[in-house]
Structure 1
Amino acid sequence: MTEDFDIMNDELDENGDEEYLSRSEKKRRSTARQKIGEDLACMPITAVRSFGLPPALVAAFEDYHKYSKHEAKRRQMQFIGKMLREIDITEIEARLNDYHAGRASATADFHHLERLRDGLMAEKADALDDMLEMYPAADVQYVRQLVRNGKKEIAAGKPPKAARTLFRYLRDFEEQE
């Protein structure tokens, strides 16, 4: 009797061999693809278009961004997940990982520049030396002027225009490297 029973849940694994996938494993894979869809949905639509997705899937993401109601977005995300289950997502996963790594790196650079600017504004002893070591072409007189103006603005309760200018100045040097 069991020999006549045909398993309907066979799928192909990465090597093209048939393997039995339990219901739990199918659910895990489906959830993982759903998560990839959610990651893509959080990105701007121009970034989603750059992933080289099928046109129908790009259109589904465009529709997702048009909806404002929670339930409509949830249903569209379910549809996107279904579409992602039908395509190979290895390249999409790799590009998403690269995208997130680039964002993390940019955030770390941003925080580094903020700490450097805050150290300069607090006139820490080694902050100016650290800045000159990293950016030897920096104009020390201009940096000191911005620090001096920033302290005056803070004392007067004005917006930190000089501190922002100092941050932009440091960011420009960072981008040149």
Structure 2
Amino acid sequence: MQDSHDFDQDDDQLVSKSQLKREAEAQQALGTKLVDLPAGKLAKLPLDDELLDAIQLAQRIRNKREGFRRQLQQIGKMMRQRDTAPIEQALHELEHAHLEQNALFHQLEKYRDAILADGDSAIQDFVETYPLADRQKLRQLYRQAQKQQQQGKPPAAARELFKYLREVATA
């Protein structure tokens, strides 16, 4: 009876060949993602020297078709020998930060467009959201943008307004 119980525990710990293959492919895909990152973002990830060297080599030989494929397989193999959770977490945070930055950029574009369209009421909304904003400077940029638009000039003040909104929002 004891032997059959031990056998049942072994069955729970067995992993199917298909599952192993899926896990290996996932590690390979993570390695490919790392190879596609620029050097600045790679530096922010918790990579050991051996793995970083392999990734940099793959980036250098990208145009060598067969060598690149073998290097990606090597990186996948290296990934399977490591705990990739910290790497995946750091990569997720990098991607998430980029998405947040894009969302802020789009929100600031909406504020700029609203200020250019509605004037003081939109300026008031922005100042309520960002109390450090200088209302007088916002009004000045709004008036300059209106004047440039009426004269048919390029929207330099509108660009300056956006720059100022970004400064305030990221301060």
Q: TM-score, normalised by structure 2?
A: 0.78
Say if 1:167 and 1:51 are closer, same or farther in 2 by CA, change over 3 A: same
Q: Match for residue 168 of structure 1?
A: 163
Indicate the larger mover: 102-111 or 17-26.
17-26
Q: 2:84 maps to what in 1?
A: 89
Q: Is the 8 A contact 2:149 2:155 kept in 1?
A: yes
**Cα distance in 2 for residues equivalent to 1:160 and 1:65:** 41
Structure 2's unaligned 5+ residue stretches are 1-10
Gaps (5+ residues) in structure 1?
A: 1-16
Residue in 2 that maps onto 1:63: 57
Closer, same or farther: CA 154–25 of 1 in aligned 2, 3 Å: farther
Correspondent of 2:97 among 102, 105, 129: 102
Greater relative CO, 1 or 2 (CA 8 Å, sep 6+): 2
Cα distance change, pair 47–150 in 1 and its aligned pair in 2 (3 A): same
8 Å CA contact retained: 1:45, 1:61: no
Q: Secondary structure at the match of 1:122?
A: helix
TM-score by length of 1: 0.76
Question: Once superposed, what is the RMSD of the aligned Cα atoms?
Answer: 2.6
Rounded Cα–Cα distance in structure 2 between residues aligned with 1:157 and 1:23: 68
Q: Mean alpha-carbon deviation: is it higher for 101-110 or for 123-132?
A: 123-132
Quickly say closer, same or farther: Cα 1:154–1:34, change in 2 above 3 A. Answer: farther
- Alignment correspondent of 1:43: 37
Distance 1:63 1:19 in 2: 37
Return the letter of the residue paired with 1:166. L
Tell me, yes or no, if the aligned pair for 1:146 and 1:165 is still in contact at 8 Å: yes
Higher helix share: 2
Return closer, same or farther for 1:23/1:174 CA change in 2, 3 Å cut-off: same
Q: Offset of 1:73 from its aligned partner?
A: 4.1
Identity %: 37
Equivalent residue pairs, number: 160
CA distance in structure 1 between the partners assigned to 2:146 and 2:69 by the alignment = 50
Q: Deviations over 1:8-44 (max 9, x none)?
A: xxxxxxxxx9832222111211121122223322322
Work out whether residues 31 and 76 of structure 2, in 8 Å CA contact, stay in contact via their aligned partners in 1: yes
